Amino acid sequence: MAVAQLSPSYTETRFLSSQLSSASTRLYSRRRQALRPSSKARNAKIVCSVAPNEVQAPITPQTKGTRNKPDCFGVFCVTYDLKAEEETKSWKKLINIAVSGAAGMISNHLLFKLASGEVFGPDQPIALKLLGSERSFQALEGVAMELEDSLYPLLREVSIGISPYEVFQDVEWALLIGAKPRGPGMERADLLDINGQIFAEQGKALNAVASRNVKVIVVGNPCNTNALICLKNAPDIPAKNFHALTRLDENRAKCQLALKAGVFYDKVSNVTIWGNHSTTQVPDFLNARINGLPVTEVIKDTAWLEKEFTEKVQKRGGVLIQKWGRSSAASTSVSIVDAIKSLITPTPKGDWFSSGVYTNGNPYGIAEDIVFSMPCRSDGNGDYELVKDVIIDDFLRERLKKTEAELLAEKRCVAHLTGEGNAYCDLPEDTMLPGEM
């Protein structure tokens, strides 16, 4: 990955943090905190719904070596020792998961799924680190209170904050959902700039304080280019650790193929969403399968496949807003869970999943140095590899070129945020998917 040219004020931080990478983790972590750019380092508020003098009888003994949890919330401020008890001593080591936009509706579904054990399994204790904004801070407290009241045994720590430099400390997963919605009259270029700035800062924060192998899933739109900005601002984290969420599109595409073929959706496999999470995205029917057969052998209506299928996938969010009056928070959070599970469980033999990933070294001839949704497989260790044996015919190639061109244009539009000089914005049209914020 090319190291991005970052703005001068962050140069020292990045230089020193890379020099420190062989130091002990604890020291490194402390130094990194000290080196954090001060203008951005507003401390996370410290919130505890029980005052220290109200705690009358700490039953669990204070365990030596328990790390500080300065921004913990309520009952999640108590110390605990998982190794001390029969039910928990076989559990895995706690993992830290950051969620941005934590007071929003997608997170309101996702956080409870993470806490329940549905995502990482029944022996994986988790710490949730909730990132919100100054404006949403009270709502963050409300979310943390509901997490308290849910009594999830696996949820051991919850902390809330508004500085990514605090919240991303040591996180192994960063689920970046928060983004500014598009206001009236706002162009896609404006949105790219406003949200790009958020993701540039979050990239810097991840680079400074997150686990060196943090996996990042960008949901906030425009997610492909936000993910690109984020990874460019995090040069010490492997670029392949960054994902833009196209899994909801994949899930919707599978459902539409199932409906058309008159089969249950579990019969549909090998569906790729190619390219940008926008109206130029390409739901791929050429490589998709139904009951193991190519979709084109099962659905003979080529006109439907070439036109209506893509429209149905893309218009789904808009139809949902019309019917339900809200955007699709529940199914989006399900697709985030699917995206995580696809990285931590081995992909079924012969199948794959879609994710927006960094294009360097891709075997499809797609331009390098962008984030493009492609077919991926994982052996379940958190990483993925690109699938090689896919067919690309002229019809598919032509559509890939269009979505690639859009992503290259978006990249030029945010050059000031990726350290590649002055931005030049020539986005031809509005390609926001209907029903998305």
Catalytically active residues, by annotation: 277
By the rule CB under 8 A, 46 interacts with its own copies: no
Which residue(s) pair with 389 in the sheet?
none
Does residue 151 interact with its own copies by CB under 8 A?
A: yes
Least distance (Å) from its own copies to the CB of residue 416?
A: 35
Cβ nearer to its own copies, comparing 224 with 327:
327
Report residue 206 as tokens. 């991840």
Among 40, 69, 148, 415, binds its own copies (CB under 8 A): 148
The amino acid at 36: R
Question: In angstroms, what is the minimal distance from the CB of 63 to its own copies?
Answer: 12
Backbone region of residue 325 per phi and psi (left: phi > 0; alpha: psi in -120 to 50; beta: other values): left
* Contact pattern from residue 77 through residue 106 relative to its own copies, giving x for each residue in contact according to CB under 8 A and a dash for the rest: -x-x----------------------x---
User: Do 254 and 295 meet the contact criterion of CB atoms below 8 Å apart?
Assistant: no
**Letter string b/e over residues 203-233, b meaning 16 or more CB atoms within 10 A of that residue's CB:** bbbbbbbbbeebbbbbbbbbbbbbbbbbbbb
Q: Rounded CA gap, 199 and 178, in Å?
A: 9
Pick from 7, 25, 43, 146: which binds its own copies (CB under 8 A)?
146
Near its own copies in 333-352, by CB under 8 A: 334-335, 338
156 touches its own copies (CB under 8 A): yes
Binding of residue 302 to its own copies (CB under 8 A): no
* Binding segment (CB under 8 A) for its own copies, from list 47-55, 199-207, 227-235, 411-419: 47-55
**What are the Cα distances from residue 55, in Å, to 49, 149, 155, 272?**
11, 18, 21, 53
> From residue 101 to residue 130, what is the string marking binding to its own copies with x (rule CB under 8 A)?
--x----xx-xxx--x-x------------
Q: Of residues 39, 65, 264, 391, which one binds its own copies by CB under 8 A?
A: 264
Q: CA–CA separation, 144 vs 136, rounded Å? A: 12
Shortest separation between residue 278's beta carbon and its own copies, angstroms: 18
Q: Report in angstroms how near the CB of residue 266 gets to its own copies at its nearest.
A: 5
Amino acid symbol at 146: E
Work out whether 320 is an interface residue with its own copies (CB under 8 A): yes
Helix axis angle for 394-413 and 223-232, nearest 10°, is: 60
Site for its own copies in 225-254 (CB under 8 A): 248, 251-252, 254
Minimum Å gap between C-beta 1 and its own copies is 33
- DSSP code, position 49: S
Question: Maximum CA pair distance of the chain?
Answer: 72
β-bridge pairing 385-386 and 371-377: antiparallel
408 binds its own copies (CB under 8 A): no
